[in-house]
Amino acid sequence: MAAAFETLTKHSRLLAWLTEVVQLCKPDNVYTCDGSAEEYGYICEVAMKHGTFTRLNDTLRPDCFLARSHPSDVARVEDRTFICTNDQIEAGPTNNWAPAREMKRKLCAIFDGCMEGRTMYIIPFSMGPVGSPFSKIGIEVTDSAYVVANMTIMTRVGTKVLEALGSDGEFVPCLHSVGAPLKPFQGDVPWPCERDPNHKYIVHFPDDPSIWSYGSGYGGNALLGKKCLALRIASALARKEGWLAEHMLILCLTSPEGEKRYIAGAFPSACGKTNLAMMRPTLPGWKVTCLGDDIAWMRIGEDGRLYAMNPETGFFGVAPGTSYDTNPNAMETFTRNSIFTNAGLTDEGDIWWEDMGVPAPAHLIDWEGDDWTPDSDRKAAHPNARFTAPAEQCPVIDPDWENPSGVPISAILFGGRRAGTVPLVYEAFDWEHGVFMGSAAGSETTAANLSKTGVLRHDPFAMLPFCGYNMGDYFAHWLSMAGRTDPQKLPRIFFVNWFRKGEDGHFLWPGYGDNSRVLKWIFERVGGGGQAVKTPIGNLPAPGALDLSGLELPAADLEALLTVDVGAWKQEAADLSEYYEEFGDRLPTALRGQLEALKERLHGR
């Protein structure tokens, strides 16, 4: 099954790098991935042999597998994620920084011999369709069969990528190890990883560019095409090359008359991106198709409009809470050919998690491998349990999801989890004001990273953990898009909040398929219709402008959803003033001006 990398490419820089990596990591074997279906089957067999994968019941869930990670390795580790440049100011105040030269010296010592006793897998992968001008090529080296299997679902892997790379094409070197070398005759464990959380490193060198990841085998820490390349490294490349790499879903909304508009949306992890991207509208005649649920790369096209492409080929979604009520299309997507991580395993050989819409089994094996019953005092699935499923299996995948030129974006949404203050939806006055709205975004934290949950933090553009350079410069880059084209051709910008709560703690808005009612108003606004009222924070739907037909929504809840609490917004502006101070003179003056204008509008009420 293996092929020596020297026979697969004539790319001298790639060969030199791979030779250095082999000498550094000292694997027992080297395997170059060809991306074939036969290879995927082989990798899954390897993962089962080592106990990493458990095959699920082929009748209930054909060609699906369950993995259980070590309890120390269940989510992104933001405090161990670094942006390494020569000068700290280039990384900015929101990133963990270390001097690039010093970090490389440290990593070389850590990686020395890290793959002893293991197989080194070389994964050539393309983010975006192979050969598209949008796309970027990475080469991930890893000692994890789990990573290989997931990368095969999430990216375009194999020989075709090496062929597109040619003998001198650009690529991003991505070096990953679980950090668990094996001595002779030492037994392996199902989930090898570095147990010490302070000895994990997810490191990005945007000036090279390159990625080094050590000690974690989980998700965005290890699937280096995802957050590492597609956002942190790509955002730095996008700044240099004049485009945008964003933590955004992409969907197509089609009216009953057949008119289509493409919408991108930025939300922090576990805040409903996947649900929105695959939504089944409750409004008759309206249709949503999905192009991606997590990442959008956007460029200005020849006609001056902003075009977006999803560079991934799969969904790596949060499992708990996903059900036929919340996201039936996701449930249909992972019925086959999928990988589940840290879910419960039923006695019938199927998966289960909390809020799946299926009664809890009388007995199962929980995500840590222990017996579990409904009387147990712990969750059967980890709150950040995941499914990895091919995008092509989504029943509402858009016909243009792999269009190498992308699709034209009409609207951009920002949002997050906010129990108060932020209305259901409001619209920016113009592009600059929209960038201000994105920079001011905040959300209550979730289980998708190893920090406290439920804490409100500023998360501008939902990119706080993912921006690969100084966030102040990132704001300036967004503002600069208005100078690259006719500003009237840029998307309209909106802020949405599905999570507003009443004083008694209940959600004021039903969410899920009923979010189509908000999207319909946005659709109308983009087309020159949709009635709105101007408020200090932006344009809100006018009374009666939201289509609430067939929805039993208490009048008091609707009023609260569309009310601007001036006192709360004055506090919001004060908090934002303090937050902006973090960026010093890197904060664009235009955003300071927007903040002062907001304060003036609020005090004028």
Closest among 229, 215, 221 to 384, alpha carbons compared: 221
Question: What CA–CA distance (Å, rounded) separates 99 from 81?
Answer: 14
Q: What is the distance between the alpha carbons of residues 300 and 298, in angstroms, rounded to a whole number?
A: 7
What distance in Å separates the CA atoms of residue 252 and residue 261, rounded to the nearest whole number?
Answer: 6
State both tokens at 64: 């699906």
Beta bridge partners of residue 292, listed in sequence order: 250
CA distances to 227, 320, 338, 346, 449 from 382, in Å:
21, 8, 18, 15, 12
Of 221, 119, 133, 134, which Cα lies nearest the Cα of 174? 221
- Judge contact between 296 and 414, C-beta under 8 A: no
Residue 270 Ramachandran class (φ > 0 left, ψ -120 to 50 alpha, else beta): left
Q: Which of 64, 84, 114, 271 is catalytic?
A: 271
Quick one: tokens of 214? 């050590």
Q: Is the peptide bond before 181 cis (omega within 30 degrees of 0)?
A: no
What distance lies between CA 127 and its chain's CA centroid? 14
Give me the helices (H) in 234-321, please.
Answer: 234-241, 273-277
- CA–CA gap between residue 319 and residue 333 (Å, rounded): 12
Token duo for residue 192? 């090898």
* 117 Rama sector, left if φ>0, alpha if ψ -120 to 50, beta otherwise: left
Name the residue with tokens 């993995």. Answer: 67
Beta strands, E only, 462-559: 492-496, 532-534, 539-541
Phi/psi at 420 (5° precision): -145, 180
Structure tokens at 322: 């996903």
The whole-angstrom separation of Cα 5 and Cα 17 is 11
One-letter-per-residue 3-state SS of 162-220: HHHHCCCCCCEEEEEECCCCCCCCCCCCCCCCCCCHHHCEEEEECCCCEEEEECCCCHH
Could you tell me which residues are beta bridge partners of residue 415?
A: 496
d(CA 345, CA 302): 51
Quick check: is 84 catalytic? Answer: no
CA-closest candidate to residue 65, choices 77, 79, 51, 78: 51
CB 516 within 8 A of CB 283: yes
Structure tokens at 588: 């664009």
One-character DSSP codes across 430-477: SHHHHHHHHHT-EEE--TTBSS-TT-EEE-GGG-TTT--S-HHHHHHH
The distance in angstroms from the start CA to the end CA of the chain is 71
Give, in degrees to the nearest 5, the angle at Cα 96 between 92 and 100: 85
Structure tokens at 386: 């995941």
How many other C-beta atoms lie within 10 A of the C-beta of residue 106? 14
Catalytic residue annotation: 271
